[in-house]
Amino acid sequence: MSVNQSLKPITTEIINNQIHIGGCSLTELAKKYGTPLYVIDEHTLRSICNDYKNAFKDYKNIKMMYASKALCTSAVVRILDEEGFGFDAVSAGELYTIYKSGVDMTKVLFNGNNKSAREIELALNYGVGRFSVDNFYEAELLNKIAAEKNISADILLRITPGIECHTHDYIQTGQTDSKFGFDLTQLNEIVSLIINKYDNLNLKGLHAHIGSQIFELQSFYDEVAILVKEISEINKTFGLKLDEMNIGGGLGVKYTNSDNPPNTIDLAKAVTDAMHKYSVEIPTIYLEPGRSIISTAGVTLYTAGSSKQVPDGKKYIAVDGGMADNPRPSMYQAKYYAEKAKNPDSDKKETVTIAGRYCESGDILIEDIELPVIKEGDIICVYNTGAYNYSMASNYNRVEKSAMVLVNNSQSDIIINRETLDDLISHDSIPDRLRKQ
């Protein structure tokens, strides 16, 4: 079993009828730091890193990257750096966080379908290791900016491999009709441009990402087969020696008991089997998982507040967070699992719907979950919120963003401070003519 197959952080245990994670009691964490509170378990995070490293240990040319869009904070970056991971970044903000965290920027790949000139310039100044060039416009722009600096940029070309995997439409990216990457029929044209016109671009290989929360290993096998085929065709046609492929991320996690994602060993087998079957020379493979690295390590703690029993209908329990700290249920109909932090196994259970506090009827975190009877003030723990929660959080209704703590060996440390009311207005500006005299 690998960590992405676990519903809860792997240090989760019950001591004196209280859920503990990383040796810390959840009710104590809620008391100390307030709620909503994101909690990241360091041991779970480091364990999935080891799962990936072990799974690919027999394949020497593997480069593990972390897709920082899943959760990009300075402390998490430090842990991934210590674990020997590189980083996939998609914005100036992610690049800056990674740079300021002291990472060797040659281990960073800059990715995205509409990088701005300012972001490209920043990435070149930081000396990022690879650019994943997404489209014709970007190739021209990157070449121009690199030429002005008299440097050359090492690039991969992002392709759409034409693979439809079974996941939510919004997080499927590898199908032919996609906003990302070059269509396979455009590859020869862009490679000729690079060879004949773009003197400041140095082509190293291809990049693809077929989607997210994927459970079918066949999709990864097919993806690698396509990448290998395209690389060898380019090499043959243009007399090149491209030897790098980036297969993106996508491995699924277990949000609820009905999810059964594959483990990292079987993922590695699918990838390396496809390599060995189709490749003559073994290229360097980059992997850039996001969700499967950080999701399981994270939980969110909420305090229960008001409740409402609809006559002959549902019972709603409202919590002090919701769609602004976790937009996934309202955006993707994502399902989550939760427990009451104190006496989670108590016999008296009822089916409730956990509602958020935001002014929108769609702000429901979990529909119809069986929980012990919840009273105002009880702490509820929602599992598997490490990925795409904080990173997609908003200030909707002008609510302060939640704090995040890192737990390990019974110790807890703040890694993101809770926003304050002053933070919320700190970027506001009132024109003079509107100022109160």
Active site residues per annotation:
359
Task: Please select the residue that binds ligand LLP; options are 51, 223, 244, 288, rule is CB under 6 A.
Answer: 288
- From the list 50-58, 113-121, 262-270, 289-297, the region that binds ligand LLP by CB under 6 A is 289-297
DSSP string covering 138-188, please? HHHHHHHHHHHTT--EEEEEEEE-----SS-GGGB--SSS-SSSEEGGGHH
CB of 17 to ligand LLP, least distance (A): 33
CB of 432 to ligand LLP, least distance (A): 41
Handedness of CA 274, 66, 392, 322 (dihedral sign): positive
> What is residue 214's DSSP assignment?
B
- From the list 37-45, 63-71, 226-234, 341-349, the region that binds ligand LLP by CB under 6 A is 63-71
DSSP string covering 362-378, please? T-EEEEEEEEEPP-TT-
Task: Please select the residue that binds ligand LLP; options are 24, 40, 67, 92, rule is CB under 6 A.
Answer: 67
Name, in order, each residue with C-beta under 8 angstroms of 273's C-beta and a sequence gap of 6 or more: 221
Query: Which parts of 371-390 interact with ligand LLP (CB under 6 A)?
Result: 388
| Token reading at 100 | 């300021």
Burial class (CB within 10 angstroms; exposed 0-12, middle 13-18, buried 19+) of 232: middle
With beta carbons less than 8 A apart as the criterion, state whether 339 and 381 touch.
yes
Task: Please select the residue that binds ligand LLP; options are 25, 68, 111, 172, rule is CB under 6 A.
Answer: 111
Specify the residue, 67 or 364, whose C-beta has the smaller distance to ligand LLP. 67
Residue 120 CA to residue 126 CA, distance in Å, equals: 10
User: CA distances (Å), 278 to each of 63, 223, 230, 245, in order?
Assistant: 20, 12, 11, 13
CB of 427 to ligand LLP, least distance (A): 25
Phi and psi, residue 40, nearest 5°? -115, 125
CB of 229 to ligand LLP, least distance (A): 20
Specify the residue, 358 or 388, whose C-beta has the smaller distance to ligand LLP. 388
Upstream peptide bond of 36 is cis (omega within 30 degrees of 0): yes
Q: Does 249 bind ligand LLP (CB under 6 A)?
A: yes
CB of 421 to ligand LLP, least distance (A): 28
Q: Give the per-residue contact string, 303-332, with ligand LLP (x = CB under 6 A; - = no).
A: -------------------------x---x
Handedness of CA 89, 95, 97, 100 (dihedral sign): positive
CB of 211 to ligand LLP, least distance (A): 7
Q: In 10 A of CB 105, how many CB atoms?
A: 18
Q: Give the per-residue contact string, 202-221, with ligand LLP (x = CB under 6 A; - = no).
A: -------x--xx--------
The alpha-helical segments, DSSP class H, found in 239-300 are 264-278, 291-294
Q: Give the per-residue contact string, 131-170, with ligand LLP (x = CB under 6 A; - = no).
A: ----------------------------------------
CB of 120 to ligand LLP, least distance (A): 17
When CB distances to ligand LLP are compared, the closest residue is 249
- Phi/psi-derived region of residue 398, left when phi > 0, alpha when psi is between -120 and 50, beta in every other case: left
Q: Does 340 bind ligand LLP (CB under 6 A)?
A: no
Q: Does 283 bind ligand LLP (CB under 6 A)?
A: no
With beta carbons less than 8 A apart as the criterion, state whether 109 and 88 touch.
yes
With beta carbons less than 8 A apart as the criterion, state whether 386 and 295 touch.
yes
Q: Does 88 bind ligand LLP (CB under 6 A)?
A: yes
Specify the residue, 134 or 378, whose C-beta has the smaller distance to ligand LLP. 134
- From the list 246-254, 271-279, 338-346, 419-427, the region that binds ligand LLP by CB under 6 A is 246-254
Size of the site for ligand LLP (CB under 6 A): 22
Task: Please select the residue that binds ligand LLP; options are 291, 340, 357, 401, rule is CB under 6 A.
Answer: 291
Residue 96 CA to residue 101 CA, distance in Å, equals: 8
Q: Does 298 bind ligand LLP (CB under 6 A)?
A: no
Footprint of ligand LLP (CB under 6 A)? 67, 69-70, 88, 111, 171, 173, 209, 212-213, 248-250, 288-292, 328, 332, 388, 392
